[in-house]
Chain A
Amino acid sequence: MLGISRRKKISYVVNLVIVILLYVVFTMLIRQGVVNSYYSDIINMMCINIIMAVSLNLVTGLLGQLVLGHAGFMLVGAYAAGLFTLHSGLPLPVAFPIALVLGGLVAALFGVIIGVPALRLKGDYLAIITLGFGEIIRVIANNLTITNGAKGLYGIDSLNSRHNLTAMFTYMFFIAVLAIFISFTFGTSRHGRAVISIREDEIAAEASGINTTYYKLLAFILAAFFAGVAGGLYAHQIGLIDPSKFDFNRSVEILVMVVLGGMGSITGSIISAGVLTVLPEALRGFSSYRMLLYSIVLICVMLFRPTGLLGRSEFSLMKTVDKIKGAVKGKKQDPASNKEG
């Protein structure tokens, strides 16, 4: 058996190699035209949804608080980024990264404004109050001139062009990786443990000297920031921001991704965000039955696996390898550890 720190190092290296490999393979495939823009746009949407799910998981999974207004942060980020690109006058390759950061920061600012009063509440009441804030953001966006009201904001250019098919993908991919990485390190850091202790027992956490308000707000703002960045990516990917699409239902969609994957499980969020992005596309042929199917799958998963597909555990390559080794030794296979193999 390896020592803990060495194991950790190996795991970092392995994951890094996988990330780079994934990126290189996808880029090659897109450039060669093997993966056409239909599939590459879906992959991009998958990255956006992964960022949304992983960021919501910080609040819902790690902190254990139900939030029903996550789409509001995405909307704010999308408008901030979109408006910056449209009006800054900078060339797109320069404006785009600044717009993304700006989108994230503005959303984080909204996270503070909303979080300070809202986080005094918990459980269902927090859910309701975030729902309220999310709807207010949407109604106001629908009525401002700068956001172009109900007509929606459009004309936001995508970074992709005929000569460069992977520019958007590069951003999407690495921001998603960054969000995942930060989530993991946050979850295992001192701050993360403080946040988890609040989830387990807020009163006990407070009694042992943890500044609960601070840590709750920290998780909330971090989530809002990434939602804002995802919003910025969305605005440039689709080229159009339609305020009516960022309503309560969109927030619920993201929540479903988190809960379905397993609350508190980052890998679970990633997998279910991926599957739930592909599923509607895959069911395209069933047209009118696809939403019916989606709802039945949703109910069944919840009934038979109430904690989500992965529960609170994380899928890890190292552990899987260990398990397979153990299984081979014991001549007995554990089916669960093989499912993603």
Chain B
Amino acid sequence: MDFFSQIINGLGIGSIYALVALGYSMVYGIVQLINFAHGDIIMVGAYVVFVILVMMNLPLWLAVLGSIIFCGLAGVVIERVAYHRLLVRDAPRISLLITAIGVSIFLQNLFQLLFGSDAKSMPKMFSFSPLQIGELQITSSTVLNILVSVVMMAGLQLMVSKMKIGKAMRATSEDAGAAKLMGINTNTTIAFTFGIGSALASAGAVLYCNTYPQIKPIMGGLLGLKAFVAAVLGGIGSIPGAMLGGYLLGVAESLTNAYISSNLTDAVVFGILIIVLLVKPAGLLGKNTREKV
């Protein structure tokens, strides 16, 4: 029975990794940028929820909606201000990476100045009774995390495969030059991708606050790193891959804690990452691209 509880524990945190990993994956798929500031967008989202829900004392749905809209816009603004100039000039990708790191440091320190570095506590947000299956008890937050992440992934997958903007995204990711020639506005598509990725991150932020009722300016660092590992594990650029990576990572952490050693969890997690990369360099569900001569 403990084994199943541990799996459930893993899926609970794993679904948050998965939601965040989706954002990494989408951005990477389209501009090949490891967006290190993505984890900090979650922090921004969490603080927006905090401001609306706790400081302004407004209803929860407004906080959630406000956070998603704010983060979506913030994503677009960050893309325009910090990345756009580099993207259109085809600058070295490493410069983009450093810029992303700069944005990450900027956001962390800005929020530390605005709200102080101390953690803020969050109230319970969604509470319904835990799910009982036989002896197994699943907390409400875990149920919610798993449900929301699956729905989000399905919606995203649908959007990418069926909707016009989704097709534009795929085309831009496949060959930006050719997409432009086919009349796709790649600039808008890229901005849109950043917006969607950030909005997803803020959905992740809401779930995060509900599960771990505490936020601080540096909370995005470790979460972002883990989610990034999840994205790579599943195959960066692939939507189901990001989900799979997130769940796997969560479960691997949980089982390591339970059955190997809670001292070595991070080492085991990164060990799995290394092995997967060596055996299947593009990740579990990623496409293997062979370099042409």
Residues of A within 8 A of B (CB): 60, 66, 117, 120-121, 124-125, 127-129, 131-133, 135-136, 139-140, 143, 203, 248, 252, 255-256, 259-260, 263, 288-289, 291-292, 294-296, 298-299, 302-303, 306-308
Chain B residues, CB < 8 A from A139: 264, 266-267, 270
Give bound CA distance, A203 to B266, whole Å. 36
- Those 7 A-B pairs whose CB atoms lie nearest each other, nearest first: A306-B91, A298-B102, A295-B106, A295-B105, A306-B95, A132-B270, A299-B102
Closest chain A residue to B267, Cβ basis = A139
| CB pair A124 B32 closer than 8 Å | yes
Chain B residues, CB < 8 A from A135: 266-267, 270
| CB pair B264 A132 closer than 8 Å | no
Residues of B within 8 A of A (CB): 28, 32, 34, 82, 85-86, 89, 91-92, 94-99, 101-103, 105-106, 108-110, 112-113, 225, 229, 232, 236, 263-264, 266-267, 270-271, 273-274, 277-278, 281, 291, 293
Chain B residues, CB < 8 A from A295: 102-103, 105-106, 109
Chain A residues, CB < 8 A from B110: 292
Kindly provide the distance from the CB of A198 to the nearest chain B CB, expressed in whole angstroms: 14
14 cross-chain CB contacts under 8 A? A120-B281, A121-B277, A128-B232, A128-B277, A131-B270, A132-B271, A136-B267, A292-B106, A292-B110, A295-B103, A299-B82, A299-B102, A306-B89, A308-B95
| CB pair B278 A299 closer than 8 Å | no
| CB pair A303 B277 closer than 8 Å | no
Closest chain B residue to A114, Cβ basis = B274
Chain A residues, CB < 8 A from B34: 124, 127
Give bound CA distance, A256 to B281, whole Å. 26
A121, A131, A302, A303: the one contacting B281 at CB < 8 Å is A121
Chain A residues, CB < 8 A from B278: 117, 120-121, 129
| CB pair B94 A263 closer than 8 Å | yes
20 more A-B residue pairs beyond the given contacts A60-B94, A303-B99, with a C-beta to C-beta distance below 8 A: A127-B34, A129-B277, A129-B278, A132-B229, A132-B271, A132-B274, A132-B277, A135-B266, A136-B266, A136-B274, A139-B266, A259-B94, A289-B113, A299-B102, A299-B103, A299-B106, A303-B85, A303-B86, A306-B86, A306-B92
Give bound CA distance, A146 to B62, whole Å. 54
Give bound CA distance, A128 to B230, whole Å. 12
Give bound CA distance, A120 to B280, whole Å. 12
| CB pair B106 A296 closer than 8 Å | yes
Closest chain B residue to A302, Cβ basis = B99
Chain B residues, CB < 8 A from A127: 34
